[in-house]
């Protein structure tokens, strides 16, 4: 690999001039620039990004940290960010914390060690220690998905209250009153907001929520399955189940199938968030989906803005909250 000194020797200029020629070509005379360029081309010189990062104290890499890169929700966002970053000559490093806070912390520290230019983070936790940690990160960053109280950073996400409210309203319109809710972990903002959307919409309609109809599915498949089973073995079963995310809702569908209940004939089902191949799942589940492309786009623009605009770090953090979209299926029956 040729180095900058090789180029300098061939072009018969100093090393610093070569460096200058590449970083700000305007400040080098046309003749010298030409000599340097052809010398570089002759030996196939490419600047070593590692050495550049070390000297500059920052790289052109962006860290992307989520709990599960396999989740299509994050996948769409990632793709948007990658494409936008590439247009601005930045490079996305994807990492996966598996939802573990410790690992997330390690990953972020490692990325900062790599002198990343920016960070897109889907927070995996909450609480004072966590907030303190995130606040200690000096790198330009955008948080998304999970709004964490106390973190004063740009945030991009969906209106989860509305998501819960829309589906509840839909079920009420169809005549359902015995509506069950499989909730997520209440310390998560998305989960508590979705739940609040459910509860308040029920209250507005004057329908009482049966405490036995609210179960905790932890946003996971296994807990969702157990929670659904608890709902389905009750003597007075709900007529509709609202899953706070895709995993618990599909787990509920599986539980119904295994117990021999038909959806929607016996029990209606609705869920928040899309899932891959939802169109071939029978029945097609009525759902509210997030505009992942738009979310990804906003995250990308905001982050690149903070990275490239020198006086952007004086701008106060801002929240971007998008409305989700209702996608009717055939999993909800009128009663």
The residues binding a second copy (CB under 8 A) are 46, 48-51, 53-54, 69-72, 75, 78-79, 82, 91-96, 98, 110, 113-115, 250, 253-254, 257, 275-277, 279-282
Strands 286-289 and 325-327: antiparallel
Picked from a second copy, DNA, none, the partner binding residue 70 (CB below 5 to 8 A depending on kind) is a second copy
Smallest separation, CB 53 to DNA (Å): 9
Judged by CB, which is closer to a second copy: 192, or 218? 218
Picked from DNA, a second copy, none, the partner binding residue 149 (CB below 5 to 8 A depending on kind) is none
Smallest separation, CB 231 to DNA (Å): 56
Judged by CB, which is closer to DNA: 17, or 290? 17
Picked from DNA, a second copy, none, the partner binding residue 154 (CB below 5 to 8 A depending on kind) is none
Smallest separation, CB 106 to a second copy (Å): 9
* Footprint of DNA (CB under 7 A): 1, 3-5, 12-17, 19-20, 22-23, 27-29, 31-33, 45-48, 51-52, 54-57
Cβ neighbours of 47 (radius 10 Å) = 15
Judged by CB, which is closer to DNA: 11, or 77? 11
Smallest separation, CB 96 to a second copy (Å): 7
Picked from a second copy, DNA, none, the partner binding residue 56 (CB below 5 to 8 A depending on kind) is DNA
Picked from a second copy, DNA, none, the partner binding residue 275 (CB below 5 to 8 A depending on kind) is a second copy
The token pair at 155 is 């945030």
Judged by CB, which is closer to a second copy: 167, or 275? 275
Long-range contacts of 86-93 (CB under 8 A, 24+ apart): 88/304, 88/308, 89/60, 90/60, 90/61, 90/62, 90/117, 90/118, 90/304, 90/307, 91/60, 91/61, 91/62, 92/61, 92/62, 92/63, 92/64, 93/61, 93/62, 93/63, 93/64
CA 124 to chain centre: 11
Q: Contact at 8 Å (CB) between 185 and 256?
A: no
Judged by CB, which is closer to a second copy: 91, or 326? 91
Judged by CB, which is closer to a second copy: 234, or 257? 257
Q: Is the dihedral of CA 305, 307, 308, 311 positive or negative?
A: positive
Closest CA to 156 of 306, 322, 28: 322
The end-to-end CA distance of the chain, in Å, is 73
Judged by CB, which is closer to DNA: 30, or 280? 30
The token pair at 287 is 């759902």
Dihedrals phi, psi of 243, to nearest 5 degrees: -90, 130
Q: Contact at 8 Å (CB) between 27 and 20?
A: yes
Smallest separation, CB 283 to a second copy (Å): 9
Residue whose structure tokens are 């995130």: 134
Picked from a second copy, DNA, none, the partner binding residue 95 (CB below 5 to 8 A depending on kind) is a second copy
Smallest separation, CB 50 to a second copy (Å): 5
Q: Contact at 8 Å (CB) between 99 and 126?
A: no
């Amino acid at each position: 690999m040729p180095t900058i000194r090789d180029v300098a020797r061939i072009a018969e200029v100093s090393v610093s001039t070569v460096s200058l020629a590449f970083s700000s070509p305007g400040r080098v005379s046309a003749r010298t620039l030409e000599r340097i360029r052809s010398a570089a081309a002759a030996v196939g010189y490419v600047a070593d990004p590692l050495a550049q990062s070390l000297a500059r104290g920052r790289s052109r890499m962006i860290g992307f940290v989520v709990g599960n890169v396999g989740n299509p929700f994050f996948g769409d966002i990632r793709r948007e960010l990658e494409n936008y970053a590439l247009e601005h000559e930045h490079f996305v490093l994807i990492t996966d914390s598996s939802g573990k806070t410790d690992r997330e912390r390690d990953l972020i520290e490692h990325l900062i060690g790599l002198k990343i230019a920016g960070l897109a983070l889907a927070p995996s936790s909450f609480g004072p220690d966590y907030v303190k940690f995130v606040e200690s990160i000096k790198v330009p960053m955008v948080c998304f998905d999970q709004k964490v109280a106390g973190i004063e950073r740009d945030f991009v996400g969906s209106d989860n209250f509305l998501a819960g409210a829309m589906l509840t309203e839909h079920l009420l319109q169809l005549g359902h009153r015995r509506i069950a809710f499989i909730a997520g972990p209440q310390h998560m903002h998305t989960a508590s907001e979705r739940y609040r959307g459910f509860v308040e919409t029920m209250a507005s309609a004057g329908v009482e929520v049966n405490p036995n109809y609210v179960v905790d599915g932890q946003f996971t498949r296994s807990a969702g399955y157990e929670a659904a089973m608890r709902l389905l073995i009750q003597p007075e079963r709900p007529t509709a189940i609202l899953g706070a995310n895709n995993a618990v809702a599909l787990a509920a569908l599986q539980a119904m199938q295994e117990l021999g209940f038909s959806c929607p004939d016996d029990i209606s089902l609705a869920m928040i968030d899309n899932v891959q191949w939802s169109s071939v799942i029978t029945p097609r589940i009525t759902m509210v989906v997030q505009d992942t492309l738009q979310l990804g786009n906003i995250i990308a623009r905001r982050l690149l803005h903070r990275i490239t605009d020198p006086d952007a770090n004086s701008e106060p953090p801002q929240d971007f909250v998008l409305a989700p979209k209702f996608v009717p299926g055939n999993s909800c029956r009128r009663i």
